[in-house]
Amino acid sequence: MGPEPVTPQSLPAIQADGLSKVFGPLTAVDGLSLQVFPGEIFGLVGPDGAGKSTSLRLLASIMAPSAGSARIAGFDVATEAAQVKDQLAYMSQRFGLYQDLTVLENIDFYADMYGVARRGRQERIGELLDFSHMRPFLHRRAGDLSGGMKQKLQLVRALIHTPKVLLLDEPTNGVDPVSRRDFWRILHKLLQAGVAILVTTAYLDEAERCDRVALLDRGRILATGSPDEIRRLMPGRILTIRSSRAREVTTILEGRTSATAVNTFGDSVHLVCPDIDRATEEARRLLELAGVDWDHMKESSPSLEDVFVSVLDRTDGSAAGPEPTALFAPPPAAAAGDGSVVTVERLTRRFGDFVAVDDIGFQVKRGEIFGFLGPNGAGKSTTIRMLCGLLRPTAGTGTVAGFDIRRQAEEIKLHIGYMSQKFSLYEDLRVEENIDFYGGIYGLAGDRLDRRKSWALEMAGLTDHRRSLTAILSGGWKQRLALACAILHEPPIIFLDEPTSGVDPLSRRRFWNLISTMAGQGITIFVTTHYMEEAEYCDRIALIYGGKMIAIGSPLELKTRFMHDEIIDLRCPDPLGLVAALRALPEVRDASLFGSGLHIVAADAAAASRAITRLLDDLNMKDTSLTTILPSMEDVFISMIEEVNRRQGPGGQGERP
């Protein structure tokens, strides 16, 4: 028999052959070759500065390659750019929104640009608005939206027409877990329509959901394959220890067992072991000697994040940057009799008729890492701005470091560090010029400024790049520079508003090592995050939704005392194909992709497990595992918010700007 005929469906929708891009002495993309087929989702992952965004710009014909070639839906990106742009939708990391247009006007403008027919357009817009929970804000100016909502508006615009190729550059960066889950549901609908999707992401659990993944570093692909194939690159086996004291477990075990690496992942510690039995015995002995309890200790399959960290550490031992240096010993913040350095009572902020923060109260103790979680627009950033003296409350009271947030805003600013979502750096200044600028703001001069500048450069790992323009730094380097500038004056309290948004797992890990070191020195950390594994590192967490506080406690308390639903973990060959059937079961409240498997939400896990087992038998599905598990923080986050929505019924809480 001859070869099978090539059909249009079998031709790659995206093809890159030896694609390269050189900027002066820097090779940003180095011989990139890949294919993505219709109906396939391909993930591109790698550390900050690896070349992911540049690769997408080359494929979108926004940037001309230095060498190599690429085709989109059969059209050459260099010579047929106009036809290429008709075949694809591209969502960049930078907001391409018209700030003075309303949400609807932005969507309509993009629909007109892509020639979306008026017939059926409103239905498509309605579907996307419901997915993004932005229908109530149709007539609000884009410039008045929060950062997370701007991100979601850009998602809506990118999806307004159904292209043959969809290029997404970290599309869920800064988007909360509820919206992130809904976004992936939309992507899977597009796959069924035959769209080819190439996505870069800093969330490695999202990479687990891709058909194939490429690991990119320094512009070159290190490995390509299905998630299962990539996991086989893991050198050694993984011993997982789950403990409410995970970071302490890491400190005890690091360098004291036969494990080649010890890494913290939320409430778990992963040991990379040449000999897992030996490492298990060593870990048990050391933890028992230290009197540290754990929930379980067992072998587990490596996650893509395990592989990511391991492969990059092998190829570049400095990928994660230098270890945290000794920080500083700030004067203690003024604490109340109970040790609280931040107190809030009945705090409220209104903008006209809109209540952004609604009658909330809490305390934060000295040396505590306090997590503030909530969906986009829940009121997190508004609360932080009030506590930092940047926004006056409408009602309620509060103190920070002993100073009243209403009457002593200027004193508060001198006693805190504040790192915003956008890092607050001047990109046209050099690294050391940014440090000098912030030193001047905080009144540092002479020898003290010189000492603090040397410390900041060392802490950020930028001593050799002090003369570099800030604009050319990767996200991880900018993040560390922004933190150094925020704490240059040695404040006793630090406010961090989504400080790790969009940076790679290695940078996040190093950042949290710094945070833990600071907390150990008595510095109080108040942090918001959308990475739910990071919430595990907090001593206590407050969950805010629609401006109201709906829960507060330690991560374990939220999982056990506040979480009313039960979670079943299902591992099976085709998790996506099972979602609709599982959701149709009366015993199942919800089923969603979670990493490479499914998390199933049920009021009664035992009854739901029986129903799921019957369904799997009816479908003759083999190689499955079904386990009732302790909820993850992402499970808690989603479940509690949906519980509020169920109580309020239709027309209840929605997204807030």
- pLDDT tens per residue across span 262-273: 888 778 899 999
pLDDT tens profile 433-477: 999 999 998 888 899 999 999 988 887 778 888 998 988 887 777
Residue 432 and residue 454: Cα distance in Å, rounded? Answer: 9
Q: What is the pLDDT of residue 315?
A: 56
- 104-113 per-position pLDDT tens digit: 999 999 888 8
C-alpha 619/C-alpha 554 separation (Å) is 41
According to DSSP, residue 39 is labeled T
- Domains of the chain in start order, with CATH, are 8-230 (3.40.50.300), 235-301 (3.30.70.980), 340-557 (3.40.50.300), 566-630 (3.30.70)
Query: For residue 423, what pLDDT is reported?
Result: 64
- Tokens found for residue 45: 């992952």
pLDDT for res 429: 93
Helices in 462-562 by DSSP H: which ranges? 475-486, 505-520, 532-535, 555-557
What is the Cα 506 distance to its own chain's centre? Answer: 13
* Side chain identity at residue 648, one-letter code: Q
Question: What average pLDDT score do residues 299-305 get?
Answer: 87
Is the pLDDT reported for residue 317 higher than 50? Answer: no
pLDDT over 90, % of the chain: 42
**Banded model confidence at residue 86, pLDDT cuts 50, 70, 90:** confident
**How far is the CA of 604 from the CAs of 564, 611, 644, in angstroms?**
10, 11, 19
pLDDT in tens, 516-547: 888 888 899 999 988 888 888 899 999 999 89
* Residues 6 or more apart whose Cβ sits within 8 Å of residue 638: 177, 178, 181, 592
- Give which of 244, 241, 256, 246 is closest to 286, Cα–Cα: 256
Q: What are the Cα distances from residue 456, in Å, to 101, 158, 476?
A: 41, 40, 15
Query: What's the pLDDT score for residue 33?
Result: 96
pLDDT reading at 356 higher than 50: yes
Q: Which of 122-136, 243-257, 279-293 has the lowest mean pLDDT?
A: 122-136
The pLDDT assigned to 17 comes to: 96
Q: What is the DSSP letter of 61?
A: T
What average pLDDT does this structure show over 552-569?
Answer: 89
C-alpha span between 19 and 59 (Å, rounded): 9
For tokens 């890494």, name the residue.
Answer: 263
Q: What is the mean pLDDT of the chain?
A: 86
49 pLDDT above the threshold of 60: yes
Distance between CA 252 and CA 290 in Å, rounded? 8
For 326, residues 6+ apart whose C-beta sits below 8 A from its C-beta are none
Judge whether 247 and 537 are in contact, CB under 8 Å.
yes
pLDDT band at 308 (very low <50, low <70, confident <90, very high): confident
pLDDT at res. 2: 42
